[in-house]
Amino acid sequence: MRKTWPIHGGVHPPENKQQSLRSPIRPAGIPAELVFPLSQHIGAPAEPVVQVGDTVLKGQKIAEAQGFVSVPVHASTSGTVIAIEARTVPHPSGMDGRCIVIRPDGVDRWIDHAGVADYTQEEPAALVKRIREAGIAGMGGAGFPAAVKLGIKPGTVIDTLIINGTECEPYITADDILMRERAGEIIAGVKILAHITKPKEILIGVEDNKPEGIAALQQAAAGTAITVVPFPTKYPSGGEKQLIQILTGKEVPSGKLPADIGVVCQNIGTTTAIYRAIVHGEPLIQRITTVTGHAVREAQNFEVLLGTPMGHLLALAGYEDGRAQRLIVGGPMMGYAIPHPQVPVVKTTNCVLAPTVQELPPPPPAQACIRCGMCAEACPVSLLPQQLYWYAMSKNSEALQHHHLFDCIECGACSYVCPSNIPLVQYYRASKAEIRLQEQEKAKAEHAKQRFEARQARLQRIEDEKEARRKARQQAAPSTAGSNTPEQQAIIQAAIERTQVQHTLSADPAAAAIERAQAAREGRSVADADPLETARQTVANTEKRLQVARDKLAQAEAEGSDKIEAFRTGVEKTAAKLQEARAALAALEAATPATTPAVPADDPVQAIIARAQAKRAGETVAEEDPVTKLERLLASTEARITATEEKIRVATAEGSDKAAALQTGLEKLAEKRQQLQAELAAARTQTAQES
Ligand code: SF4
Ligand code: SF4
């Protein structure tokens, strides 16, 4: 007999298995309605591939797996999809989940399907793919996708393939009766698994409270490399890690998987489903479910179509409504209550328990922990349940994780032995859910932070690229200029000078007028505007502004306003500008080659304006006598001297750097005045002698 290893802790609750083993497996038939939750497994829910109103065949895929850890869902009989909606699903919370609802047509017509003629000629990967497509998830209760467990990493050596026939939970006999009645299918399934995993040894672990099942398996496995290993009954020996330890003496480290220590473990029911998928091409659409408890007259095992409401099975088993204190999915240790009997059978439903109040009385009120330590003695994972309880009460997530809360298999052995009737396992379930939620929130926040940082980095990169391009353009600019031909450089220089002249002209109307006149004389092009017209316009505009300024001053004086001084300054400045504009206009007209009119005038500036207007009007202007002309030029020069002196005064007051240049201009004007005065005196003397 093969050696086995004991595990820590464990308990021996009443087994209550015999009542459901009195009769053989019974087909449950086709109910009036089938309900298929999209999440019957650990992992992402499947997504419907049918619509309301579609007709489907038995074995047809009605929902597709989403992601690696997920499995598809198949119709368990032919019929019509009548709804895709939320229905109550088997879950400890009693929650609703999305389901596909099918009304059977009663024909039970299969979709075309076929198995593999000789699986030994198939690659393991191809067989694993078929297992995945068949929608097989762990049928012992966990619902972990079988294909994921069998997707062994390349290079991993599997020492031991273990088939779990323990079924340690009280009341449940689905695996036991499968072993008794269909040992051949189980062994055929084990051989397929052995072909996929290539283990060094193959073990089927069965508790010694199932002698008929053990005998049937041993008979079916005779002559093969498969060893059936009976071992002493103790709850919860059926936990995956516990069974591995019992059969191999190896412990799966915390946070690791069995494959990490060279072990693959599959349930008896799952092994049978794999056999049917590979050899017959049938997806997982039915299973064996125990219906038991004192509230049913005939406890037994049913071969039931997935999606069948549990009430249908209870009715077949002679359920006496009102006798059960509650309906439980699973056993009394790890099971959970459901809110009503319309909850459907799914891939993991191994038992529907309808206990009477006498049979499973409600637990008495919890008392304070007396620190007896019995929970720690019972724990098969060697945890410290009372410590976990304290930390769960104080919501100390860090301490809970530090004390390996997630190694707890929720077997309920600690609650079972607790003399204070503390529902310890309920605290652990709630704490696990809370921590998972916190971690999801944390992951979401981290994800959002990473997205924000990535965005900032992207924006910074774009800015850096822009800056780099700008600098490159700057560096490229001088080298481009340097490559111009001398002719091009001359054109560029002329353009620059023109631009500078334009700026000067726009800044100083008088200088503009003079410059334009000189340019006209020299045949140069400075600007399109007529300089004389511009100068006249300047005078006219300045006269208007002066009038407005005088009006404002008059009004302010009449009102006794405190702005009188400001307006007066404005009038003075505008008057100075008008004088300046008039002088500029006079100088411009003097510099323009023309036949000047012999217009005598007391005011030389007015005389200049009159001559210009006569010329513009096309009138013939008489030649001026020398004295008159010199007087006009002298008056114009004196006006310019006055305007320049005013400019020097303003520039000096403002601290402008133009003062020096203006001073130089003033000195030249003074020389010119002196020269004109001398010429005028000579002209007058000559005129006097001639007369
Ligand atoms: S068995 Fe109950 S009373 Fe005893 S130490 Fe554990 S939690 Fe406390
Ligand atoms: S429920 Fe968890 S803590 Fe309690 S005995 Fe089982 S494994 Fe240990």
* Distance in Å, CA 538 to ligand 1 centroid: 106
Residues 609 and 611: their CA atoms lie apart, in Å, by 5
Atom of ligand 2 nearest to the CA of 385: 3
Confidence check: pLDDT of 664 > 80: yes
- Ligand in closest contact with the CA of 390: 1
- Reported as a single tens digit per residue, the pLDDT across 238-295 is 999 999 999 999 999 988 889 889 999 999 999 999 999 999 999 999 999 999 999 9
Q: Lowest mean pLDDT: which of 454-468, 477-491, 617-631?
A: 477-491
> Of 11, 371, 388, which is best to mutate to test ligand 1, by the most ligand atoms within 8 angstroms of its C-beta?
371
pLDDT of 597 = 43
Confidence of residue 490 (pLDDT cuts 50, 70, 90): low
Phi, psi of 81 (to 5 degrees): -75, 115
* Distance in Å, CA 412 to ligand 1 centroid: 13
Closest C-alpha residue for ligand 1 atom 5: 371
| Polymer length of the chain | 691
Confidence of residue 486 (pLDDT cuts 50, 70, 90): low
Q: Which residues of 443-479 are buried (b: 16+ CB within 10 A; e: fewer)?
A: eeeeeeeeeeeeeeeeeeeeeeeeeeeeeeeeeeeee
Q: Please state whether the peptide bond connecting residue 253 to the residue before it is cis, i.e. omega within 30 degrees of 0.
A: no
Confidence check: pLDDT of 535 > 70: yes
pLDDT of 390 = 95
- Reported as a single tens digit per residue, the pLDDT across 416-435 is 999 999 999 999 999 999 99
pLDDT of 599 = 44
Atom of ligand 1 nearest to the CA of 420: 3
* Distance in Å, CA 430 to ligand 2 centroid: 14
The predicted model scores a pTM of 0.66
Closest C-alpha residue for ligand 2 atom 6: 411
Q: Lowest mean pLDDT: which of 192-206, 332-346, 517-531?
A: 517-531
Closest C-alpha residue for ligand 2 atom 7: 408
Q: Is 63 helix (H, G, I), strand (E, B) or coil?
A: strand
Confidence check: pLDDT of 622 > 70: no
Nearest alpha-carbon partner for 374 in 405, 418, 313? 418
Residues 90 and 352: their CA atoms lie apart, in Å, by 11
Confidence check: pLDDT of 37 > 90: yes
The mean pLDDT value for 90-106 works out to 92
* Distance in Å, CA 574 to ligand 2 centroid: 101
pLDDT of 494 = 57
pLDDT cut 70: percent of the chain above it: 87
Residue 401: CB atoms within 10 A of its CB come to 15
The mean pLDDT value for 338-360 works out to 95
- Reported as a single tens digit per residue, the pLDDT across 548-568 is 888 888 888 877 777 888 888
Residues 68 and 132: their CA atoms lie apart, in Å, by 10
The mean pLDDT value for 477-501 works out to 55
- Reported as a single tens digit per residue, the pLDDT across 595-606 is 444 444 455 556
Q: Is 61 helix (H, G, I), strand (E, B) or coil?
A: strand
